[in-house]
Structure 1
Amino acid sequence: MKVTIKSFATLRKLMDKELILEIKEGATVGDTIKELTQKYDGLFNELFESSGVIRPYVNILVNGKNIHFIDKLETKLKDEDIISLFPPIAGG
């Protein structure tokens, strides 16, 4: 099955703006993010603390819904889902 990954803000320096990824049936957001962090140098450090916990203020959405309010990294994916990755953003 295929999912679309979209990156925003500073993450675009580390990975493609948008890509389609072939994943196995039953894959989770965590499985997919792990695959991405192995493909793109520096992505793990942007998204996770060294303990493997998602950094505060990093938002990962599946079809526009924050995984924090679903099953976090254990959120199951379906064919044609869209994962959006938002790093912490500050400004004023």
Structure 2
Amino acid sequence: MARIVVKIFGPKYFGLNQYDVITLVLDIRDGVSVGDVIDELEKRYPGLRRRLLRGEEIIPMHDIWVNGRSITFLQGLKTPLREGDVVQIIPPFGG
């Protein structure tokens, strides 16, 4: 088992009943990908997946980072995770 951290920024935007950043520590098995983590989060927060993804693509202006890098520049939802990784789910920012 490995332990990762997941942070959901702007949870209210994603339809979650919370304003502050949600921080979760998850125990994962070897070979887990970002997509697997999104599936797990969907079980905890129904509707999160459809507010973040269209099929297997991130909705434009949204992003998912692993250790400070967008998964767009890694392996997308297939990006593998390992001990100590930090996954950040980020809504669009406005000003």
Whether the TM-score (by the shorter chain) exceeds 0.5 is: yes
In the alignment, is residue 86 of structure 1 matched against residue 90 of structure 2?
yes
RMSD, aligned CA: 1.9
TM-score (normalizing by structure 2): 0.82
- Select which of 51, 57, 60 maps to 1:56: 60
Residue 14 of structure 1, CA deviation: 5.1
What is the letter of the counterpart of residue 88 of structure 2? S
Secondary structure of residue in 1 paired with 2:81: coil
Where structure 2 has 5 or more consecutive residues not aligned to the other structure, the ranges are none
Matches within 5 A, 1:1-92: 1-9=2-10, 10-11=13-14, 13=16, 17-49=22-54, 51-91=55-95
What is the letter of the counterpart of residue 16 of structure 2? K
Q: Which runs of 4+ in 1 moved over 4 A?
A: none
Q: Using a 3 Å threshold, how does the CA distance of structure 1 residues 14 and 46 change in structure 2: closer, same or farther? A: farther
What is the letter of the counterpart of residue 13 of structure 1? L
Of all paired residues, the percent bearing the same amino acid is 34
Residue 85 of structure 1, CA deviation: 0.5
Count of matched residue pairs: 90
Residue 54 of structure 1, CA deviation: 1.6
Whose helix fraction is larger, Structure 1's or Structure 2's? 1
Where structure 1 has 5 or more consecutive residues not aligned to the other structure, the ranges are none
| Alignment check: 8 A CA contact 1:14 1:43 kept | no
For residues 14 and 29 of structure 1, the distance between their equivalents in structure 2, rounded to whole angstroms, comes to 23
